[in-house]
């Protein structure tokens, strides 16, 4: 229980720091968007490039783990998108909601939490889950958003426009470039290594501070929203993230994929993580509704300390 609570304290501290510097008017009303643009165009692409450029394919190719975690993420993502579309949500916003329900905070909570709760043997699985979340799930959401924002309805021109937008998107181009360099066996110079690691390490803290800045300036937006409808949507997405996704992962590792105990627990813990800041980054970057997303991130982070601790107790740490 203490490890779960301890892992989320720095998350809240960074969000509170963002709220404080906005309320004290140290940063202006446009700070949230500008800081988020730094994350999207520089910090996060550097992190994704670095992950893919150094991924050891022999160690991360674990079909059982990928199947259990990947399927739990994909099922929840697809379910969230389908339900939100049926509720009248535009495709681009539904893509963000899919991330709200399936995109876990793997880097800032998942990896250190698994290390404390499950030991060093869990780190390979945690890295696999991070790569899948940051590249596959994130990339899928970007595709849906790009399709939803295009006015073109004819198939061939639509595909061309979406492909062109994706190639110009740093969140797609960076991991693709990293994977290419990895596959070709190129060695990145030491100076470039330091550059990517320094820049990439800024992604998560800056995104959390940007989230706090958004919260601090959100009073007028909250008053304009339909509170009951938004509360129901937030509850639905949080339920998918904290309950449905880990439950699906648990059933997959128990009934379908034969994983050894540490890998099985790692898959469930990584599936049970609260919503990460990736969905907020995309919502702000594409100028979509970020109010619901910010609530889901904050509430799911608070509740996850209880739900993850409950699972670890059930699994017999």
Report the alpha-carbon distance of residue 148 to residue 152 in Å, rounded.
10
Report the alpha-carbon distance of residue 134 to residue 93 in Å, rounded.
19
- State the pLDDT at residue 265: 92
pLDDT at 223 over 50: no
Dihedral of alpha carbons 186, 136, 252, 7, sign: positive
What mean pLDDT comes out for the span 21-29? 88
pLDDT at 222 over 50: no
User: Which residue range(s) make up the domain with 129?
Assistant: 2-315
CATH no. for residue 296? 1.20.1530.20
Assign 227 a pLDDT band (cuts: 50, 70, 90). low
pTM, entire model: 0.77
Assign 151 a pLDDT band (cuts: 50, 70, 90). low
Of residues 165 and 210, more confidently modeled = 210
Report the alpha-carbon distance of residue 231 to residue 67 in Å, rounded.
32
Nearest to 46 by CA among 190, 187, 175, 166: 175
pLDDT at 183 over 60: yes
What mean pLDDT comes out for the span 1-23? 76
What mean pLDDT comes out for the span 25-33? 85
Nearest to 70 by CA among 23, 1, 129, 10: 129
pLDDT tens sequence across 111-145: 777 877 788 888 788 888 888 887 788 888 888 88
pLDDT at 8 over 80: no
87-91, 124-128, 276-280: which has the highest mean pLDDT? 87-91
Assign 201 a pLDDT band (cuts: 50, 70, 90). confident
- State the pLDDT at residue 275: 92
- State the pLDDT at residue 39: 84
pLDDT at 287 over 70: yes
Report the alpha-carbon distance of residue 164 to residue 134 in Å, rounded.
21
Report the alpha-carbon distance of residue 146 to residue 3 in Å, rounded.
39
- State the pLDDT at residue 199: 92
Query: What is the chain's mean pLDDT, rounded?
Result: 84
Assign 52 a pLDDT band (cuts: 50, 70, 90). confident
pLDDT at 229 over 80: no
What mean pLDDT comes out for the span 205-231? 69
Q: How many domains does the chain have?
A: 1
pLDDT at 188 over 80: yes
pLDDT tens sequence across 67-86: 999 999 999 999 999 999 99
- State the pLDDT at residue 142: 87
Of residues 111 and 187, more confidently modeled = 187
Query: Are 192 and 54 a contacting pair, CB within 8 Å?
Result: no
Which token pair is 171? 């969140």
What mean pLDDT comes out for the span 269-297? 87
What percent of the chain stands above pLDDT 70?
A: 89
């Amino acid at each position: 229980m203490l490890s779960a609570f301890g892992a989320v304290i720095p998350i809240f501290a960074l969000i509170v720091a963002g709220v404080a510097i906005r309320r004290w008017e140290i940063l202006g009303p446009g700070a949230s968007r500008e800081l988020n643009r730094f994350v999207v165009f520089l910090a996060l692409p550097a992190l994704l490039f670095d992950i893919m450029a150094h991924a050891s394919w022999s160690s991360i190719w674990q079909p059982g783990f990928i199947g259990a975690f990947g399927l739990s993420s994909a099922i929840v993502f697809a379910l969230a998108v389908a339900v939100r579309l049926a509720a009248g949500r535009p495709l681009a916003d539904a893509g963000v909601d899919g991330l709200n329900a399936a995109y876990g905070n793997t880097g800032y909570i998942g990896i250190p939490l698994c290390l404390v709760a499950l030991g060093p043997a869990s780190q390979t699985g945690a890295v696999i889950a991070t790569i899948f979340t940051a590249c596959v799930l994130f990339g899928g959401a970007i595709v849906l958003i790009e399709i939803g924002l295009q006015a073109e309805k004819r198939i061939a021109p639509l595909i061309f426009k979406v492909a062109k937008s994706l190639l110009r998107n740093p969140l797609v181009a960076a991991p693709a470039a990293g994977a290419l360099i990895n596959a070709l066996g190129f060695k990145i110079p030491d100076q470039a290594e330091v550059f990517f690691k320094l820049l990439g390490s800024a992604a998560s803290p800056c995104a959390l501070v940007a989230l706090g800045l958004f919260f601090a300036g959100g009073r007028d937006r909250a008053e304009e929203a339909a509170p009951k409808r938004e509360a129901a949507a937030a509850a639905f997405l949080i339920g998918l993230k904290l309950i449905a996704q880990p439950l699906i992962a648990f059933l997959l590792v128990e009934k379908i994929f034969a994983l050894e105990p540490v890998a099985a627990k790692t898959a469930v813990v990584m599936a049970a993580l609260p919503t990460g800041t990736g969905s907020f980054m995309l919502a702000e970057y594409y100028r979509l509704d970020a109010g619901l997303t910010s609530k889901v991130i904050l509430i799911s982070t608070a509740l996850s300390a209880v739900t993850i601790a409950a699972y670890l107790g059930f699994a017999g740490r």
